[in-house]
Chain A
């Protein structure tokens, strides 16, 4: 089938999409957007997290056809041109990245958390990121990065 939807503000089209394939597969293999990662294909790891109509979801669990006409925002769409989003900057500065496989999903999920709760408590951060697994960092640096991003975002607002 042919699929038409918006990705990071741009209209996209993909042909010969198999009806049973996931949005994640379409993004990575058909549209050449490898930012969202494929690690488990069963909703367990969060590394494929994207916004679907503004709501963070696991792209591996969205059927391609369900994205028809919808708006998707991936990690590639967080930066403003060359300028990284404050969340991305904070992850770099806090050293919250090792192999980087989990990072795109964590960035999108953190981006959503801070949009809804600009000053999250540690418990709220842990709860928001409970569906994002990282095999490398031990999470402490990730917590640091989210706190730093929250602080930056709050400062930028005042």
Chain B
């Protein structure tokens, strides 16, 4: 096995171009489990933890650019006010030790249907910046997941960063699991209100082969909500929203839960998180963020 240690982003891209079969390793919280259990024997490991460009974030012209190597603990501490939905999801990841080490880029790299960072990124229309020696492109997060644990990266590409606008309205995330710490989600749901566009964003996790949005539910709700008058939510609207979210899923039966249970839970989570964000919107908090 080869172990490559690029010291800069440029070197990392050159290393990936020279060794397209190299497995990038960031926090290692997915890669090392596979190696320890002999499920994967990469010929080449490409260590990204020495690349300083990956561990920074910045805000330009109202868009955050978060380096792929930023761990959950920092997403929570440093970006919790700007991206509350992603921070809530990050708090549910693993344990403190996992959150200290596991990264946003690693979650996208693994592209698990159960990746907890994915639903809030979907709800906020994030874009994934990927790069190779050939150049840079950005992929809308909804197009980034191409199948179970598959993503849109070409073999010479690495994930550089995530671009996402800071919250302009309330955001929520909900996760069903058997206990609080250290669970792979049975299913998850993220919602973001974008009041300035009078629009709702959603993201579903562990509910289909890939994380996905519930587009019909988004359109329905965006049209029904009384954005300016901020009237209370009609029970029938919440009910219908939950149904549409459940319909957007295509879950499976597995050891963590049945497809029926997942559909039911998604409808409940959708109604519940909607009531939270709408109350927050009505009370006017967060509005000038």
Identify the A interface with B (CB < 8 A): 1, 18-20, 22, 41-44, 46, 49, 55-58, 60-63, 65-66, 68, 109, 127-128, 130-132
Contact = CB atoms under 8 A, between A and B. Distances in A.
A127 to B, nearest CB: 8
B97 A63 contact: no
B47 A42 contact: no
Contacts of B35: 20, 63
Given A61-B28, A61-B101, A66-B28, A41 B36 contact: yes
Nearest to B49: A66
A19 B41 CA distance: 11
A28 B101 CA distance: 21
Nearest to B26: A66
Contacts of A49: 97
A57 B37 contact: no
Given A65-B45, A66-B25, A66-B47, A109 B98 contact: no
Counting from the closest, the 4 A-B pairs by CB-CB distance are: A131-B95, A130-B181, A19-B1, A19-B3
Choose among B25, B32, B180 the residue with the greatest number of A CB atoms under 10 Å from its CB.
B32
Given A61-B28, A61-B33, A65-B47, A131 B94 contact: yes
26 contacts: A19-B1, A20-B45, A22-B32, A41-B33, A42-B33, A42-B37, A43-B95, A55-B101, A56-B97, A56-B100, A57-B97, A58-B29, A60-B36, A61-B27, A61-B28, A61-B32, A62-B101, A63-B47, A65-B45, A66-B25, A66-B47, A68-B5, A128-B96, A131-B98, A131-B181, A132-B95
Choose among A22, A43, A49, A68 the residue with the greatest number of B CB atoms under 10 Å from its CB.
A43
B223 interface: no
B41 A20 contact: yes
B2 interface: yes
Contacts of B1: 18-20
Interface of B: 1-3, 5, 25, 27-29, 31-33, 35-37, 41-42, 45, 47, 49, 94-98, 100-101, 180-182
A19 B37 CA distance: 15
Contact of A1 (B3, B49, B98, B182): B3
Nearest to A55: B100
Contacts of B181: 127, 130-131
A58 B97 contact: yes
Contacts of A68: 5
B36 A63 contact: no
Contacts of A58: 29, 97-98, 101
B19 to A, nearest CB: 13
Given A18-B1, A58-B97, A43 B33 contact: yes
A43 B49 contact: no
Given A42-B36, A130-B95, A130-B96, 18 more contacts: A19-B45, A20-B35, A20-B42, A41-B36, A41-B37, A43-B32, A55-B100, A57-B101, A58-B97, A61-B27, A61-B32, A61-B33, A62-B101, A63-B45, A66-B47, A130-B181, A131-B96, A131-B182
A65 B36 contact: no
A65 B3 contact: yes
Nearest to B95: A131
A46 B97 contact: yes
Nearest to B42: A20
